[in-house]
Amino acid sequence: MTLMKSWVESANNAQTPFPLNNLPYGVFTTNALEARCGVAIGDMILDLSAAEEEGLVLLAEDPVFDVPYWNDVMELGSEAWDALRARLIELLEDGAPEQAAVAPHLVPMDEARMELPMVVAEYTDFYAGKHHATNIGTMFRGTENALPPNWLHIPIGYNGRASSVVVSGTDITRPNGQLKAPDADMPTFGPCKRLDIELEMGAIVGTASELGHPVTVAQADEMIFGYVLLNDWSARDIQAWEYQPLGPFQAKAFATSISPWIVTRAALEPFRTSTPEREKELLPYLQEPKPMLYDIDLSVTMKPEGGTDTTICETNYKEMYYSAPQQLAHHASSGCAMTPGDLLGSGTISGPEKHQRGSLIELSWGGKEPITLDTGATRSFIEDGDTLTLHGAAKGDGYQIGFGTCTGTIKPAVKFP
Ligand code: CA
């Protein structure tokens, strides 16, 4: 696969995250336009609501793009998704006869504000990166008990909060919570002192599964509408005190950021790659019929207030031990119904090397080895005013399938009580 040429000039270079090959879906608003669905092409957004109104894109009898979410399109199913992508390529490719009709509906990206691309139905977060799980387990429980006995058999997860999923650019308020040092008699209540990120990918479920009906890994793959970058903000000190025996609760419930553009499965198809070799054979319902991960370069930058960005982590989505379709198949295996707009966090994506660790607790090894930023400042965890940004792109031959960024700045904790 090489770069597909578009009549939108800014889409025709190796650096743009949004060439014609990509066509990611988002929800945007401008000073003149109410929130609606759009597709990114180069440095422009095609206003799909306007294109639909003019009959350039017709997916269903009733309009589906004049609303601030993609859930209606998801519900139409994968044949409609394929038809939409084919039609958009037809409209935007070099030499398209519709160019003159489509061009008036392009909005410059720098005039737009992005919103959450969908109504987040529910949010589940997994723990499916082996390097991360080993690092965290070593710090929390020691080397011998680093990986729990179930880890090589089950994609472990917990039910998170959809209510606190926010779009990239939203400020994050430092959480308050119960804290207890190991040698203290009593916990205290106050601002988290060990605030962290988790570099993850989010898979967005596009079609429903029925209550009581499991799905295969192959079916699960077909159910996924697309992928976003996801930062599972984490309060490590709250987590350490509360997590046993039911897993994280308030340590993760306060905020999860996602990037605004949903990159479709179709755009990522050339970048499919296999999960790593199994250390223990998986039960049949979790085995993959074909490669289900993607080769996506990921990085994290950190910027203190008034400072500059330092890259603190570089890794790749292919480091995961379990893929999103495996996680989705496991999620539905009990008969749990999955719905359009369900968000599945991959789990922190750390590689084997030190600079590939996708969280600060790993990068600073529990705070014992602070990292140094380009400004000279050091950090074990996040301070107020710091901005953390995730970056992601699948790199092809002379083009890339970019995710844009997923960013958030930390504001001080509220005074409570
Ligand atoms: Ca997580």
HEC string for 301-363: EEECCCCCCEEEEEEEHHHCCCCHHHHHHHHHCCCCCCCCCCEEECCCCCCCCHHHCCCHHHH
Supply the residues annotated as catalytic: 132
Q: How far is the CA of 124 from the centre of ligand 1 (A)?
A: 9
Query: Sign of torsion, CA 115 120 123 128?
Result: negative
C-alpha span between 59 and 48 (Å, rounded): 11
Ligand 1 centroid to Cα of residue 114, in Å, is 24
> Measured in angstroms, how far is the CA atom of residue 269 from the centroid of ligand 1?
25
The pair of three-digit structure tokens given for residue 83, joined into one six-digit string: 């038809």
* Tokens at 156, concatenated: 């472990």
Distance in Å, CA 128 to ligand 1 centroid: 9
CA distance 84 to 90: 10
Quote the CA–CA distance of 396 and 269 in Å, as a whole number: 11
Tell me how far the alpha carbon of residue 156 lies from the centroid of ligand 1, in angstroms: 11
Q: What angle do CA 319, 157, 383 make, to 5 degrees?
A: 75
CB 346 within 8 A of CB 320: yes
pLDDT of residue 141: 86
pLDDT, tens digit, 9 for 90 and up, residues 312-335: 999 999 999 999 999 999 999 999
Contacts of 143 (CB under 8 A, 6+ apart): none
Distance 197 CA to ligand 1 centre (A): 9
CA distance 15 to 415: 44
Per-residue pLDDT of 116-134, as tens digits, reads 999 999 999 999 999 999 9
In the three-class reduction of DSSP (H, G, I as helix; E, B as strand; rest coil), residue 168 is classed as coil
Distance, CA of 35 to CA of 67 (rounded, Å) = 7
Instruction: Give the tokens for residue 320.
Output: 């995961």
pLDDT band for 214, please (50, 70, 90 cuts). very high
* Tens digits of residue pLDDT in 270-315: 999 999 999 999 999 999 999 999 999 999 999 999 999 999 999 9
- Distance CA(138)–CA(76), nearest Å, equals 45
Q: Which H or E element spans position 50? A: helix 48-53
Please state, in angstroms and as integers, the Cα–Cα distance from residue 179 to each residue in 191, 237, 242, 415, following that order. Answer: 9, 6, 9, 16
Distance 88 CA to ligand 1 centre (A): 34
Residue 407 pLDDT: 98
Structural element, H or E, at residue 85? helix 78-92
Mean pLDDT to the nearest integer, 7-16: 97
Q: For the chain, what is the total number of helices (H) and then of strands (E)?
A: 11, 26
**Cα(224)–Cα(207) distance, integer angstroms:** 7
CA of 168 from ligand 1 middle (Å) equals 17
Which tokens is 185 given?
Answer: 């008699």
Instruction: Give the three-state DSSP class for 73.
Output: helix
The mean-pLDDT minimum among 19-23, 240-244, 282-286 falls in 240-244
**pLDDT confidence tier of residue 140, bands split at 50, 70 and 90:** confident
Q: Cite the DSSP H helix spans in 206-285.
A: 217-223, 236-242, 250-253, 265-268
pLDDT-derived band at 45, boundaries 50, 70, 90: very high
Give the residue from 368, 248, 356 showing the smallest Cα distance to 297: 356
As a whole number of angstroms, the distance between CA 101 and CA 54 comes to: 9
Element housing 77 (H / E): none
Cα 126 to averaged position of ligand 1 atoms, centre (Å): 6
Structure tokens at 19: 């060439």
Q: What is the mean pLDDT of residues 213-223?
A: 98
d(C-alpha 90, C-alpha 87), whole Å? 5
Looking at residue 58, its pLDDT comes to: 95
